[in-house]
Amino acid sequence: MSSDHVRYLLALESSCDETAAAVIDRDRRVLSNVVASQFELHRDFGGVVPEIASRAHVRRVLPVIQESLRQAELDLSDIGAVAVATQPGLVGSLLVGLTAAKTLALVLDVPLIAVNHIEAHIYACRMAANCEVFPAIGFVVSGGHTNLYDCTGPVDFELLGSTIDDAAGEAFDKVAQILDVGFPGGPAIQALAATGNPKAIRFPRTFLKEDRLEFSFSGLKTAVLYTVTGVPNSGREPEPLTDQRKADIAASFQAAVVDVLVAKCRQALEQRQRSTLCVGGGVAANQPLREKLETMCRHTRTQLHVAPMSLCTDNAAMAAIAWESLERGRTAGLDLDVTPGLVRAGRPR
């Protein structure tokens, strides 16, 4: 069935700890972008607790949808298609969004579209650029993922490499926990690092000089821990954790992460001979990372598109990628299911 008559798409996002809904029109204009964050529910645990997240999604999904329609000044009857993030993410969280989306698609008798959350993070760059950005190297750097893709088109992505342990954002969150500066850790570490010396401590930069497009941050996290607590059985006391020492650790940690992220983007660009880089995900909000990416791209004559702040962290507006699927006739049936894990290659739909 042609989708030409569809004017407004309602998109839902509940893959982790944000309940989000957005209304996007055919020209990719975002008419509303509502995000209900759960960070206060998970703060005391220093990370997202899946069971708490699912329950909060159940409570919030309908008010968030209603608010997205209100802000877009539309009724449900105006909605011509429903999109939902079905992968990857927490299974319970994903299921809440999927159930809401299926119900709406069934009741409204409109197409249902599956969205890959990671691809949507990259598509946020296309939305901001408002012009063709592909082919490009796509980089999603968030709390759950550190993935490099070769993107030949808006919905044709090949995974080039990812983290073999912690994601970059996860490392920020864990180091923030070690330094006791709050959750989510990224913004807290960035703020603390602003007064620190990034060269104070030489932390490890795993795989920096290797060709492989993979990441590893668990060694770095352990190095930070031992810097704070002292190396077990070493007989050496750690330096006192003054405010300045904390800031130096944060700045040195951040510098190590940023160095690796930028180097791997450069390697991916070289290996695939691409001249465009699209970066999305929560960690793309990091200011030093944005600055270093800009410098690297200037030197390598690469066109850089970083998702705007409002589309970096989890949101449903980036699910505007569903328009690309809809226009290609890639809709889903009501038997659509969630895929919590990362699909490494090929198109899962």
Binding stretches for Zn ion (CB under 5 A): 142, 314
Among 90, 179, 283, 297, binds ligand KG4 (CB under 6 A): 283
161-200 footprint of ligand KG4 as x/- string (CB under 6 A): --------xx-xx----------xxxx--x----------
CB of 144 to Zn ion, least distance (A): 6
Beta-sheet strands, E only, within the chain: 8-13, 18-25, 30-37, 79-87, 112-116, 136-141, 146-153, 156-161, 276-280, 303-306
CB of 280 to ligand KG4, least distance (A): 8
Q: Does 85 bind ligand KG4 (CB under 6 A)?
A: no
CB of 117 to Zn ion, least distance (A): 6
Compute how many other C-beta atoms are within 10 angstroms of the C-beta atom of residue 14: 35
Applying CB under 6 A, the span of 149-157, 267-275, 280-288, 325-333 interacting with ligand KG4 comes to 280-288
CB of 185 to ligand KG4, least distance (A): 5
Among 80, 88, 144, 161, binds ligand KG4 (CB under 6 A): 144
Applying CB under 6 A, the span of 208-216, 217-225, 243-251, 282-290 interacting with ligand KG4 comes to 282-290
Q: Does 111 bind ligand KG4 (CB under 6 A)?
A: no
CB of 338 to ligand KG4, least distance (A): 15
How far apart CA 284 and CA 258 sit, in angstroms, is: 10
Whether 331 and 34 have beta carbons less than 8 Å apart is answered as no
Q: How far is CA 104 from CA 29, 100, 172, 323, in A?
A: 22, 6, 37, 17
**Closer Cβ to Zn ion, 15 or 267, answer by number:** 15
Q: Does 81 bind ligand KG4 (CB under 6 A)?
A: no
Task: Choose from Zn ion, ligand KG4, none: what does 325 bind? Cβ within 5-8 Å by kind.
Answer: none
**Closer Cβ to ligand KG4, 283 or 304, answer by number:** 283
Task: Choose from Zn ion, ligand KG4, none: what does 160 bind? Cβ within 5-8 Å by kind.
Answer: none
| Touching ligand KG4, residues 214-243 (CB under 6 A) | none
CB of 279 to ligand KG4, least distance (A): 12
How far apart CA 316 and CA 71 sit, in angstroms, is: 14
Applying CB under 6 A, the span of 126-134, 138-146, 226-234, 239-247 interacting with ligand KG4 comes to 138-146
Tell me which residue of 297, 347, 309, 341 sits closest to 87, measured CA to CA: 341
Give one DSSP letter per residue of 294-313, joined into a string: HHHHHHTT-EEEE--HHHHS
* Continuous H helices in 130-182: 168-179
Burial 204-239 (b: 16+ CB within 10 A, else e): ebbbeeeeebbbbbeebbebbbebbeeeeeeeeeee
Q: How many residues bind ligand KG4 (CB under 6 A)?
A: 20
How far apart CA 279 and CA 287 sit, in angstroms, is: 13
- Radius of gyration of the chain, Cα coordinates, nearest whole angstrom: 21
Q: Does 154 bind ligand KG4 (CB under 6 A)?
A: no
Task: Choose from ligand KG4, Zn ion, none: what does 324 bind? Cβ within 5-8 Å by kind.
Answer: none
Q: Does 147 bind ligand KG4 (CB under 6 A)?
A: no
Contacts of residues 205-212 at CB distance under 8 Å and 24 or more positions apart, as own/partner, are 205/256, 205/259, 205/260, 205/263, 206/260, 207/260, 207/264, 208/259, 208/260, 208/263, 211/267, 211/271, 212/161
Task: Choose from ligand KG4, Zn ion, none: what does 283 bind? Cβ within 5-8 Å by kind.
Answer: ligand KG4
- Token pair in block for residue 238: 């750690």
Whether 85 and 12 have beta carbons less than 8 Å apart is answered as yes
Which residues would be at the binding site for ligand KG4 (CB under 6 A)? 16, 142-144, 169-170, 172-173, 184-187, 190, 281-283, 285-286, 313-314
